[in-house]
Amino acid sequence: MASILRTFVLLLVAASPSAANRQQLRGFRTNGFANFAGAMQPTVAARTLSRVETEWRSQALQFVECKGDAARSDCGFVQNAFQKSCSKIVSAVVAASSGDRETVTEYMAVVCNEPQLNDWKHERCQNFAKAISNTMTADTYENRRSLNTGGLCLGFWTNMSTAEGSRIAQEHALQAKRIEEEHAKAEERAKQAANELAEATAARNRKMAQEAKRRELEERRRALEEQHKRQVAERQAEVARLAVERDSAAKAAAAKRTAQKAAQEAETKQRIEAAQKAAEAQAAEADAKLAQAKRDEQETKRNIADAEAETAKHKQHQPQPVARDAAAAAHPAKTQQAAQPQAAQPRAAVASKKVTNRKQ
Q: What mean pLDDT comes out for the span 14-42?
A: 47
Query: What is the three-class DSSP state of 149?
Result: helix
| pLDDT tens figures, 87-123 | 999 999 999 889 999 999 999 999 999 999 999 999 9
| pLDDT tens figures, 245-280 | 888 877 877 878 888 788 788 887 888 788 778 778
pLDDT of residue 16: 45
Q: How far apart are CA 96 and CA 40, in angstroms?
A: 8
| pLDDT tens figures, 174-233 | 888 888 888 888 888 888 888 888 888 888 888 888 888 888 888 888 888 888 888 888
Task: Give the torsion sign (CA, 123, 125, 129, 135).
Answer: positive
**What does the angle CA 13 – CA 18 – CA 82 come to, to the nearest 5 degrees?**
25
Q: How far apart are CA 248 and CA 210, in angstroms?
A: 54
More confident residue, 201 or 27: 201
CB contact at 8 A, 116 and 83: no
Could you give the C-alpha distances from 38 to 6, 43, 50, 203, 332, in angstroms and in order?
Answer: 20, 10, 19, 76, 218
Q: Which long-range contacts (CB under 8 A, 24 or more apart) does 311-315 make?
A: 311/339, 311/343
Q: What mean pLDDT comes out for the span 126-145?
A: 93
CB contact at 8 A, 12 and 97: no
Chain center to CA of 355: 118
Could you give the C-alpha distances from 98 to 149, 344, 354, in angstroms and in order?
Answer: 15, 219, 211
CB-based contacts of 304: which residues, under 8 Å, 6+ apart? 344, 347, 348, 351
Please, which pLDDT band fits residue 32 given cuts at 50, 70 and 90? very low
**DSSP strands (E only) in the chain:** none
Q: State yes or no: pLDDT of 136 exceeds 90.
A: yes
Specify the length of the chain in residues: 360
Q: What mean pLDDT comes out for the span 316-342?
A: 57
Could you give the C-alpha distances from 165 to 70, 118, 120, in angstroms and in order?
Answer: 16, 21, 15
CA atoms within 13 A on the CB side of 1: 17
Q: How far apart are CA 19 and CA 11, in angstroms?
A: 18
